[in-house]
């Protein structure tokens, strides 16, 4: 039972990292990337390729990257690869700048990448995917398999904390403010000298980098990775988490992931399977996800936590600078 909880928590923390990345694209910047999971997959595959050696059973799996680098290098490679992919896809999808075009294009490109990878064994092993992915640091630490699981969980929690702190810092920075302004009103942002395309592209790449980072952690956690792990539906799991927790709210993304991925998904796993319909439980999760999104948007669009708000009065009093004129009604002056 404990093992199960450790494993579930690890998965939740990885998904929380992914949710934070998606929150940057959607929550901060208003970009509806419908194929976010693809970038996580890039990170997953590339990082695996970097630290997998040549396949032991060449007839079972083939893939294009076959280095044997240590895990940190692989992790970095996966993250960067996802960022580059984000740069390319973002540059194409942001051309038209209208939100529905953008969403459609991301979905289309994602579906195609999925098809290409799934049907070509030579790239990343096709439907079979990659397996036997080495466990990070396993050979350096004398741990039993059970202890290793705790280690991996700790590693993921540290990673989550790091990503969260990074994201929170950027949210309050001028960059984060500008992205939110662009989300609220692009034209006004342009009128105030912000090159909207470049900002959106930057935010897109930022989110993609985090996706790749999370994806690398995911493939190394499971030890294997194949198309079943990044079906188009997985992106919606992340969206549900973000909507639930509060779009734009970083802590909310983590909370939403915990509630949806951790609790609800696990619960639906326990519903007795319907005979003759093996996909039903998975599908049920999809139904619940869609329902949650609609209900949240209808009755509490800001999610559980709502978007954090700047508090200047507090800063003012902390700095001891609250010596300004009170808000008196102005009087018209003759010209």
Partner 1 sequence: MAQYLTNNVFVDVLVGAIVVGAAAWLINRTIIEPFNRRGAKVTVLFVVTIALSLMIQNAIIVFFGGTTHSLVVPSETVSQVGPFLFTAADMIVMAVAVAIMLAVHVILRYTTFGKSQRAVADSRELASVTGINMPRVVALTWLMAGAIAGIAGAVIAFQGGTFSPLTGYTFLLVTFAAAVAGGLGRPYGAMIGAVILGLVTEVGGAYLASSYKQVIAVGILVVVLLIRPSGLFDARGRTTI
Partner 2 sequence: MSAALLLEVSGLSKSFGGVEAVRDCSFTVPEGSITGLIGSNGAGKSTAVNLISGFHRPDKGSVRFDGVEMVGLSPDQIAARGMIRTFQTTREWGSLTVMENMLVAAPSRGRDSVWRSLFTPRAIARADREDRQTARGILGEIGLVGLRDHRAGELSGGQKRLLEFARIMMARPRMALLDEPLAGVNPVLAERIDHAVGYLRSSGITLLIIEHNLGFVEATCDTAIVMALGTAIATGRMEELRTNPAVLDAYLGVATVA
C-beta closer to partner 2: residue 184 or 279 = 184
Q: Which helix (H) or strand (E) holds 90?
A: helix 71-93
We find the least distance from the C-beta atom of residue 74 to partner 1, in angstroms, to be 29
142 near partner 2 (CB under 8 A): no
Contact code string over 168-207 relative to partner 2, x by CB under 8 A: -xx--xxx-xx-xx-xxx-xxxxxxxxxx--x--x---x-
What does the alpha-carbon distance between residue 37 and residue 115 come to, in Å, rounded to a whole number? 14
With CB under 5 to 8 Å by kind, the binding choice for 119 among partner 1, partner 2, none is partner 1
Whose structure tokens read 């708000």? Answer: 309
Q: Is 156 helix (H, G, I), strand (E, B) or coil?
A: helix
> What does the DSSP 8-state code read for residue 141?
S
What does the alpha-carbon distance between residue 186 and residue 254 come to, in Å, rounded to a whole number? 28
User: Could you tell me if 110 and 33 are in contact, meaning their C-beta atoms sit under 8 angstroms apart?
Assistant: no
Contact code string over 124-163 relative to partner 1, x by CB under 8 A: ----------------------------------------
Size of the site for partner 1 (CB under 8 A): 48
User: Could you tell me if 215 and 74 are in contact, meaning their C-beta atoms sit under 8 angstroms apart?
Assistant: no
User: Could you tell me if 46 and 212 are in contact, meaning their C-beta atoms sit under 8 angstroms apart?
Assistant: yes
Q: Is 130 helix (H, G, I), strand (E, B) or coil?
A: strand
User: Given phi > 0 = left and psi -120 to 50 = alpha, else beta, which region is 30?
Assistant: left
Contact with partner 1 (CB under 8 A): which of 154, 188, 269, 279? Answer: 279
99 near partner 1 (CB under 8 A): yes
C-beta closer to partner 1: residue 111 or 143 = 111
With CB under 5 to 8 Å by kind, the binding choice for 283 among partner 2, partner 1, none is partner 1
- Partners of 124 in beta bridges: 63
C-beta closer to partner 2: residue 62 or 79 = 79
Residue 247 structure tokens = 């779009």
Contact code string over 15-54 relative to partner 1, x by CB under 8 A: ---------------x-x-x--------------------
Residues near 45 by beta carbon (within 8 Å), at least 6 away in sequence: 63, 78, 117, 124, 130, 215, 219, 225
We find the least distance from the C-beta atom of residue 199 to partner 1, in angstroms, to be 16
Contact with partner 1 (CB under 8 A): which of 53, 172, 223, 290? Answer: 290
Contact with partner 1 (CB under 8 A): which of 87, 126, 286, 308? Answer: 286
Binding residues for partner 2 (CB under 8 A):
169-170, 173-175, 177-178, 180-181, 183-185, 187-196, 199, 202, 206, 248, 307, 309-313, 315-316, 319, 321, 324-335
């Amino acid at each position: 039972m404990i093992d199960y909880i450790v494993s579930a928590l690890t998965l939740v923390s990885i998904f929380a990292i992914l949710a934070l990345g998606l929150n940057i694209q959607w929550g901060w910047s208003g970009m509806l990337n419908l194929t976010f999971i693809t970038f996580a997959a890039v990170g997953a595959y590339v990082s695996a390729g970097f630290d997998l050696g040549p396949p032991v059973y060449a007839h079972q799996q083939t893939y294009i990257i076959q280095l044997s680098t240590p895990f940190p290098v692989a992790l970095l490679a996966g993250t960067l690869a996802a960022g580059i992919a984000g740069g390319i896809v973002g540059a194409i999808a942001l051309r038209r700048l209208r939100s529905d075009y953008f969403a459609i294009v991301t979905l289309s490109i994602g579906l195609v990448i999925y098809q290409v990878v799934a049907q070509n064994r030579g790239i990343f092993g096709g439907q079979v995917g990659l397996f036997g992915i080495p466990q990070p640091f396993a050979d350096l630490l004398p741990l039993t398999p059970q202890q290793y699981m705790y280690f991996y969980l700790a590693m993921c929690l540290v990673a989550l904390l790091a990503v969260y702190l990074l994201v929170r810092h950027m949210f309050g920075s001028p960059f984060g403010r500008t992205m939110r302004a662009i989300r609220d009103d692009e034209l006004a942002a342009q009128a105030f000298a912000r090159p909207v395309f470049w900002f959106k592209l930057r935010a897109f790449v930022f989110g993609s980098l985090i996706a790749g980072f999370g994806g690398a952690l995911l493939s190394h956690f499971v030890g294997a990775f194949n198309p079943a792990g990044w079906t188009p539906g997985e992106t919606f799991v992340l969206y549900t988490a973000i909507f639930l927790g509060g779009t734009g709210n970083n802590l909310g993304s983590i909370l939403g992931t915990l509630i949806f991925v951790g609790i609800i998904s696990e619960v639906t796993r326990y519903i007795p399977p319907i005979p003759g319909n093996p996909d039903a439980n998975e599908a049920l999760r999809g139904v619940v996800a869609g329902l949650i999104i609609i209900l949240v948007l209808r009755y509490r669009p800001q999610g559980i936590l709502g978007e954090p708000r700047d508090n200047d009065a507090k800063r003012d009093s902390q700095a001891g600078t609250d010596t300004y004129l009170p808000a008196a009604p102005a009087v018209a002056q003759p010209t």
